[in-house]
Chain A
């Protein structure tokens, strides 16, 4: 089994935070599968995904993504960034721009820096963007402005932008927590479906066990910056989930969780 990402003894403390957001995390994300990062709010899911996306500096440990090691103090080389796509909880779209423009933004890393900064997309970029729109079922929305769309439509645009990068690893941070349950299931069906069709690996975070169970092949439980469990979906017990979401004790609230 090859790995899309490999994490060894990863720790990170946010600036101004007392406790580490990631506390000696080791994890292997298998390639070609869909893995869910499950855990309560504050577990460290967003932080872990941001490290894998190469957007955080100052962590300690060993991280390699798609076979290339990341440097804790340097941004990844520009050329490798499109290989890792990211779908954000709050969509992170340019609201006043059109759907097509937002999806073309996913191509910027595949263009020469000069073309990205000053030029216009090539026919091939347009073709990839239109195919991504079609895959996400929003070809007819191409010319609409994003600020006129619903939440579900916005997340489809964000997934299309991610696909336009032609990524081999798709990271998604709580991609459906802003959507109603029906829309959430639709979006996760779409995300895992397009990834499988393109042979890309998916790592998505969620705080909802039912969604993780339904859409992931593997489930990684996280709590307090540590990995609580890492199992195939069939091996996940209700006890493990209950324990993952147990009440935070008063001692933990005041920062003495090492006592437990």
Chain B
């Protein structure tokens, strides 16, 4: 009984606020009283069904996720490699440091114009921006991870004869991994923000394009569909990352939910 009660209260805690929010939205939309400008939840649902029926929503989601996936993967590798190198080598940190610490304040959105001119409207420009935004977040996490390894972990390893590559493989990298993983989780969120901005300015498909383009026809319901899809996809991506890192890297005690 207590476990069933537990489950019910857990369910209530997760579901009730959500239902409450939808009612609140509905009330606000009715009060606003211009359905075209502020559609109700039901109208938004109808629009979602219509967009799915036309195949539009799925294809926009697919293209956006593909861009994020490729850019995120490349950025994670690049950020990890560069961050580890900067954390491990003082000269590398001295050389790259000023660039990294300047560039990470020039956000991906500031780069959109230049990237469009260089790479055009094709896939490359969007993926480059995702790579860029992911790289710096992961890089800084990895670098801090290396630099904050407790010296006694490294000293112990040296006592036991670990040098060079073995020291890196058996101590430095595993000790840094939790930082890299939490950096990647943050970078995933940044990727979602970046892809929308990029697709709004420089794309003919994708969720960002859907949201931006619907403005021209005053299709606020389609804008809502795009935004909600974005939020749900982000939530799912985050949950997937927590799940995967929990399965693959459990012993490194990575992310908390």
The answer to whether A and B interact is no
